[in-house]
Amino acid sequence: MKTKLIIVFAFLIGMMNGKAQNAADCAEKLSIFNELCKAKDFTAAYEPWMYSRKNCASFHNAIYIRGEQILNYRIENAKTPADKEKEVRDLVKMYGEFDTHFPDNNRGNKVRKAMALFENNVGTPDEVYGLLDDAFKTDRANFTNAKALYVYFEIYVNDFEAGKKGIQLQDLFNKYDEISDKIDEEEKKLSDDLDVILQKEEAGTALTTKEENVKSVNQINLDAFQTIRTSMDNKIAQLSTCERLIPFLGASFEEKKGDAEWLKRAADRLDKKGCASDPLFSKISDALHALNPTAESAYNLGVSFYNKKNTTKALEYFNQSAELQKDNTKKANVYYTIARNIYGSSNKSQARTYAEKALAAKPSLGEAQVFIAQLYANSANECGNDPFEKRAIYWLAAQTARKAGTSAGNAAAASYDKLAPSKADIHSAGRAGESIRFNCWVGRSVTVPNL
């Protein structure tokens, strides 16, 4: 018995020593390839990384995060298409290993698999779609890649147009709605974080380096989501003309008139397609409001009355919609609709008031800043006591457009700067550093740049 105990004890000691040695080897290899990756020497990093991948799979998630860099380098530098595909397939395999050994990594590796294939032109559209569909259904929270959402939609549209998989027009609308809802979610998260930072900045408090980075990244990502939303709208616009949409929805109205969600989607679809002047839109809007009076149904009635050129009733329902709305993003969009469509250039002061209400609800609504800037720029001949002051309003327009923090805002600001007085004009007028107040509807001031 004593001999058996000694043997078992020796065996356990041996196992412990082996594990300790293995952990030491793993730590050493990880340190080596991590430092090589920092130095961008991915070729030298490959061998110690592969050792870690094979022998230390659960040791540290850096094996997979650095592995992504290493394999992407090998993909970019592959000498033949066959070599490239081999590396891409290995990257896809590694993403699966990451999820196996670190299941709660929240990296969206299913989406990464699909985009590795798509961006490197490897595999088929069906393979890419299958991975994206699986990710959307099983890991929706981590499906945050704007481009991947568009690829997911585009492949589905292509299959519909090709008559594949039995996809019907209603299926296409359903897919569009599902992906649009996801875009709404992502935009809301980004803009909510951005709103806090913009409010802090507006109050005159200096932002930390981290906040500046978050501000920049969120604005870039919001731009990306807006771009793919526009692209999706353009895609579906080609397939759902009013001539096709109205009879399609009209045929389902009697069956669906008690379905609030269907009515809401149908009204929204008709509105976005520019079909809201058709009697079907009014019929759907009335049914929705009678069934369940909400901010959305009030908004649809506002659109209906606007299309009937009854702006008084339209404004009543739009304001009712904004007041009922609990979601700040949607509230801001209603106020922005009033600013652009009810008032627009016909009443610039009221248009600005409602655009500012939109910004009060959602400070990150860049379109509202660009719109106000446009109102200022369009007032150049209405404001100012002389030609210099009339052109000075473009400085105010540029400053306002830049507040949007978007590519559209920056482009508008650059165009307004070109229309403002030049350095030579400032020098000739002798007005550098002077404050100019616009006593027209604008009622704001701008400081002439110092030379």
- Each domain of the chain, given as residue ranges in start order, spans 144-239
Is pLDDT at 4 greater than 80 in this prediction?
A: no
Q: Give CA–CA dist 252/110, Å, rounded.
A: 37
pLDDT of residue 2: 53
Average pLDDT over residues 267-288: 89
Q: Facing residues of 436 across strands?
A: 446
First to last CA, the chain: 97
Q: What is the pLDDT of residues 403-421, one digit of tens each?
A: 999 999 999 999 999 999 9
Confidence of residue 15 (pLDDT cuts 50, 70, 90): very low
Whether the CB-CB separation of 130 and 152 falls below 8 Å is answered with: no
Q: What is the pLDDT of residues 52-85, one digit of tens each?
A: 999 999 999 999 999 999 999 999 999 999 999 9
Q: What is the pLDDT of residues 124-143, one digit of tens each?
A: 999 999 999 999 999 999 99
Average pLDDT over residues 165-185: 92
Confidence of residue 244 (pLDDT cuts 50, 70, 90): confident
Average pLDDT over residues 37-65: 96
Is pLDDT at 329 greater than 70 in this prediction?
A: yes
Average pLDDT over residues 424-438: 94
Confidence of residue 272 (pLDDT cuts 50, 70, 90): confident
pLDDT of residue 7: 42
Taking the CA of residue 231 as centre, how many other CA atoms within 13 Å lie in the half-sphere pointing to its CB? Answer: 18
Confidence of residue 240 (pLDDT cuts 50, 70, 90): confident
pLDDT of residue 3: 47
pLDDT of residue 169: 87
Average pLDDT over residues 349-358: 97
Nearest to 134 by CA among 118, 113, 163: 113
Each as own residue / partner, the long-range contacts of residues 71-75 (CB below 8 Å, 24 or more positions apart, any chain) are 73/42, 73/43, 74/42, 74/46, 75/120
Confidence of residue 10 (pLDDT cuts 50, 70, 90): very low
Structure tokens at 412: 């508008």
Average pLDDT over residues 296-302: 92
Confidence of residue 389 (pLDDT cuts 50, 70, 90): very high
pLDDT of residue 21: 52
Is pLDDT at 18 greater than 80 in this prediction?
A: no
Distances (CA, A) of 264 to 36, 98, 242, 378: 55, 41, 17, 36
Beta strand pairing status for 445-447 and 435-437? antiparallel
Residues 6+ apart with CB under 8 A from 70: 33, 37, 42, 45, 46, 49
Per DSSP, 347 falls in state G
Is pLDDT at 297 greater than 80 in this prediction?
A: yes
Structure tokens at 158: 């292509």
Is pLDDT at 87 greater than 70 in this prediction?
A: yes
The amino acid at residue 143 is: F
Average pLDDT over residues 205-231: 93
Whether the CB-CB separation of 344 and 316 falls below 8 Å is answered with: no
Q: Give CA–CA dist 236/171, Å, rounded.
A: 12
pLDDT of residue 9: 42
Q: What is the pTM of this model?
A: 0.68
User: H or E stretch including 204?
Assistant: none
pLDDT of residue 93: 97
pLDDT of residue 29: 95
